[in-house]
């Protein structure tokens, strides 16, 4: 649509259908993504969705937040899980993503409360609901402005990870070497 010489694009929705087995005629809508006027994802709502055939079915919503044109936050809430996830992104003056952090929402639990098929021990109780950083990644760039290294220190669980990016003579990514502490 053209309005006074400028392009105005309406909000757009896109649906994803999935089927199980071999009968594609039984495909059902499982995910709907909404794009804003600038073509960026605003929300993603899913019900009975599998990201891969090996994963469990998920129901929930992902909301995307932008500052100018840069993605700064993804908030994921799940209907069949009590906790939520939030990715927060920081950018440098050139608009490059230089930091990523994953925050898990830890809800308040009571002693003896069942969770994930087991009884939650007293030591696992949260005093109050809170966001907890579970993953932090720092991204470094070389003098040509290409991604050179990704560092992920051990924060809460998991391993310390270091990725080193190498490029071919044309400046294209050629190899990513990954090192971790265990």
Enter the pTM of the model: 0.74
Does CATH number 3.40.50 belong to domain 82-180? Answer: no
Q: What Å distances lie between residue 152 and 69, 70, 77, 181, CA to CA?
A: 25, 22, 24, 11
- How many other C-beta atoms can be found within 10 angstroms of the C-beta atom of residue 105? 17
pLDDT score of 76: 92
Query: Would you place residue 126 in the very low, low, confident or very high pLDDT band (cuts 50, 70, 90)?
Result: low
Which residues are bridge partners to 85 per DSSP?
76, 104
Per residue in 127-168, pLDDT (tens digit) is: 666 788 888 999 999 999 999 999 998 866 667 899 999 999
Q: What is the DSSP letter of 120?
A: P
Q: Give the Cα separation of 163 and 161 in Å (integer).
A: 7
Among 127, 80, 121, which residue's Cα sits nearest to residue 108? 127
- First-to-last CA distance in the chain? 55
């Amino acid at each position: 649509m053209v309005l006074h010489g400028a392009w105005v694009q309406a909000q757009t929705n896109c649906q994803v259908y999935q089927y199980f087995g071999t009968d594609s005629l039984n495909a059902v809508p499982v995910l709907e993504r909404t794009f804003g006027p600038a073509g960026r994802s605003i929300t993603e709502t899913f019900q009975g969705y599998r990201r891969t055939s090996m994963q469990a079915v998920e129901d929930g919503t992902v909301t995307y937040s932008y500052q100018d044109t840069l993605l700064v936050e993804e908030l994921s809430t799940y209907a069949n899980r009590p906790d939520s996830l939030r990715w927060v992104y920081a950018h440098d003056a050139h608009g490059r993503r230089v930091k990523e952090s994953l925050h898990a929402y830890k809800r308040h639990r009571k002693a003896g409360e069942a969770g994930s098929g087991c009884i939650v021990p007293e030591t696992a109780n949260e005093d109050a609901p809170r966001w907890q950083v579970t993953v932090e990644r720092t991204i470094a760039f070389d003098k040509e402005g290409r991604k050179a290294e990704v560092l992920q220190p051990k924060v809460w669980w998991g391993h310390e990870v270091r990725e080193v990016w190498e490029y071919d003579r044309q400046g294209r990514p050629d190899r990513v070497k990954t090192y971790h502490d265990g």
